[in-house]
Amino acid sequence: MLSRLSKVILLVSSFSPLLIVFALLDYWGKGWPSAVCVGLAILSWIGVFYLYASLKKIDPTPLRVKKADRKDQEILTYLAANLLPFLSINPDGWREILASFIFVGLIGLFFVRGELYYTNPVLGVAKFRVLAIETTNQTVYLITRRVYLPRDSEIRAVPISNHIMWEAPP
């Protein structure tokens, strides 16, 4: 499985569109708060590409595909559910800012506890897809660049968590 740092990178990168919106709107204030948002977003993007490159160093697990269904739409649901509430709030005072931090923190907590690492818009922009793969003994979410996986094909993947895997790079 991937390290905690890798999971943090995936978490922060999933928030990166929201961080960019926060920066553009000076959501938490002008100056350094917006710069921190942009900096975190950029660092997380670099981290995702480093993470993908580092998968070559990890021993992949072979999987036999019985059935594969695309789940890319879950990324759109994630974006809409997390971005829209913030666009309707104009944080004028410390209470609104605190409420925003609490809400972002709760989303992050549910993201980690629910192991939603595959609901990441940065991965979608980088042409990765999410497939629900039924194998001989389990169903996992697979992050891959493939559009389709034929029945009975064999792939190699690196576990991110208990039920999420990332297809090993060639």
> Whole-prediction pTM value?
0.80
Categorize the per-residue pLDDT at 12 as very low, low, confident or very high, splitting at 50, 70 and 90. very high
Structure confidence at residue 82 (pLDDT): 67
Residue 164 burial by CB count (10 A; 0-12/13-18/19+): exposed, middle or buried? Answer: buried
The answer, yes or no, to whether residue 74 has pLDDT greater than 90, is: no
Q: Which of 169, 154, 151 is nearest to 58 (CA)?
A: 169
Looking at the chain, the whole-number percentage of residues with pLDDT higher than 90 is: 29
| In the predicted structure, residue 28 carries a pLDDT above the cut 70 | yes
82-131 tens-digit pLDDT: 666 666 667 777 887 788 788 888 888 888 888 877 788 888 888 999 89
Average pLDDT score over residue span 136-143? 88
Q: What is the largest CA-CA distance in the chain?
A: 57
Chain Cα centroid distance, residue 86: 19
Share of the chain above pLDDT 70, in %: 92
pLDDT of 49-59, one tens digit each?
Answer: 999 998 888 89
Report the C-alpha gap between 121 and 153 in whole angstroms.
27
Rounded Cα–Cα distance for residues 55 and 146 (Å) = 17
pLDDT of residue 39: 97
Cβ count near 90 (within 10 Å)? 9
